[in-house]
Amino acid sequence: MSSISNLTLDPAASQIAISLVSFLFCVIELIGGLGNLLVIYVVLIDPKMRRSATNLFIMNLAVSDFVILAIGVPDIVQFMLNRGWVLGVVTCKMHRYIMVASLYASIMTLTAVCVERYIAIVHPIKAHILCSRRRVLCAIAVIWPAALILSLHVPVFNRLMSPPGLNVQLCVQVFPVNHKVMSALFKGVEFLLFFLAPIVSQVVLYGIVSRRLFAGSKSLHRKQTIRRDGVEKEKDADAIRARKGVVKMLIATVVVYFLSYAPAQVPLFYNLLSSKPFKANWPFLVLIMTLAHANSAANPILYAIFSQNFRRKFRSIL
């Protein structure tokens, strides 16, 4: 998300590119901002949806995605229009702090909802205790302080600097000692904590959940039956289809997250394997910035595609 700090433009050749990219990001913010606000509103006004642990996590994800778009898009647009950071050092620190904390909260929420679905489907007896509404709200209350603490490196190390030969100021993270080593170490830890570990854990858990839901659906149907007057009857199959739909939706969310942030990991691996540092050009920076912000705008669209409940609520409002 902070790769915009390293962006430089060719004043003679990039005005059309600046206008087009600025327009693209405004469209992303409009769609994503309205979509995430709609998700928050739908969950808040419907008592039935608020009772669902999954929906509470989805609402928290929508909050973090909305903040990422509300902070990140103006960051990019003002940088390109002004060809540098003009908002001062305090804004540089706090602006980026809120954005990075929201990104971390988004990732932790994705992982938390995955764990919740795993417990609810694979260990349904324990779910009533471990995934109660109170515990979910406590988890959400922990996610945000944890994200804020883990993002403290931003206000501590971010500052304004002018690269040699450029008459602009950039908002960048600079470590006071052994910057190159510390920066590489930090990026490696961030990659492990907020990309690799969440992706691997969700792939494993959703794999187990999918096997239980789809490969073992006959067994699941048998467990969903009840006996009345000596006659065994199945509960409404819509409940099972709804579970499958939710899992499909969440898996799609994880896939989109992976595709959105995988390109941003290229410089890390390039620098590990090459003796020369990675030099990001303009198209690459535009690509990773577009994908990162599009991820926050895509989730409400995925909810509308895969969830009948959200689709129905969206239609009733729109």
pLDDT in tens, 11-22: 444 677 778 888
- pLDDT higher at 258 or 279: 258
Count how many domains the chain has.
1
Strands (E), the chain: 158-161, 170-173, 225-228, 231-234
Place 43 in a pLDDT band, splitting at 50, 70 and 90. very high
Question: For the chain, what is the mean pLDDT?
Answer: 84
How many angstroms separate the Cα of 228 from the Cα of each of 6, 221, 231, 232? 68, 16, 5, 6
Q: What is the mean pLDDT of residues 104-116?
A: 96
Q: What is the mean pLDDT of residues 218-247?
A: 58
- Listed as own residue / partner, the contacts of 200-203 with beta carbons closer than 8 Å and 24 or more positions apart are 201/111, 201/114, 202/110, 202/111, 202/114, 202/254, 203/254
Q: What is the mean pLDDT of residues 225-242?
A: 54
How many angstroms separate the Cα of 111 from the Cα of each of 191, 198, 230? 15, 6, 43
Q: What's the CATH code of the domain at 234?
A: 1.20.1070.10
Given a cut of 50, is residue 32 above it in pLDDT? yes
What is the structure's pLDDT at 33? 95
What is the structure's pLDDT at 232? 45
What is the structure's pLDDT at 222? 53
The range of the structural domain enclosing residue 244 comes to 2-317
How many angstroms separate the Cα of 313 from the Cα of each of 246, 309, 317? 15, 6, 6
Q: Report the C-alpha gap between 146 and 144 in whole angstroms.
A: 5
| 126 phi/psi in degrees, rounded to 5 | -75, -20
What is the structure's pLDDT at 4? 39
Lowest mean pLDDT among 45-49, 101-105, 112-116: 45-49
Place 216 in a pLDDT band, splitting at 50, 70 and 90. low
Given a cut of 90, is residue 56 above it in pLDDT? yes
The percentage of residues in the chain with a pLDDT greater than 90, rounded to a whole number, is: 43
| Residue-wise pLDDT tens digits, 58-94 | 999 999 999 999 998 888 888 777 777 888 899 989 9
Structure tokens belonging to residue 145: 């302080």
| 165 phi/psi in degrees, rounded to 5 | 85, 0
Q: What is the mean pLDDT of residues 291-298?
A: 93
Q: Which residues contact 166 (CB under 8 A, 6 or more apart)?
A: 8
Given a cut of 60, is residue 230 above it in pLDDT? no
Helix (H) or strand (E) holding 186: helix 179-191
Q: Report the C-alpha gap between 51 and 198 in whole angstroms.
A: 26
What is the structure's pLDDT at 157? 92
Q: What is the mean pLDDT of residues 180-208?
A: 91
Q: Report the C-alpha gap between 256 and 291 in whole angstroms.
A: 9
- pLDDT higher at 39 or 80: 39
Place 237 in a pLDDT band, splitting at 50, 70 and 90. low
- Listed as own residue / partner, the contacts of 265-272 with beta carbons closer than 8 Å and 24 or more positions apart are 265/191, 265/195, 268/187, 268/188, 268/191, 271/184
Place 41 in a pLDDT band, splitting at 50, 70 and 90. very high
Strands (E), 198-237: 225-228, 231-234
Q: Which residues contact 24 (CB under 8 A, 6 or more apart)?
A: 290
Given a cut of 50, is residue 305 above it in pLDDT? yes
- What size, in residues, is the chain? 318
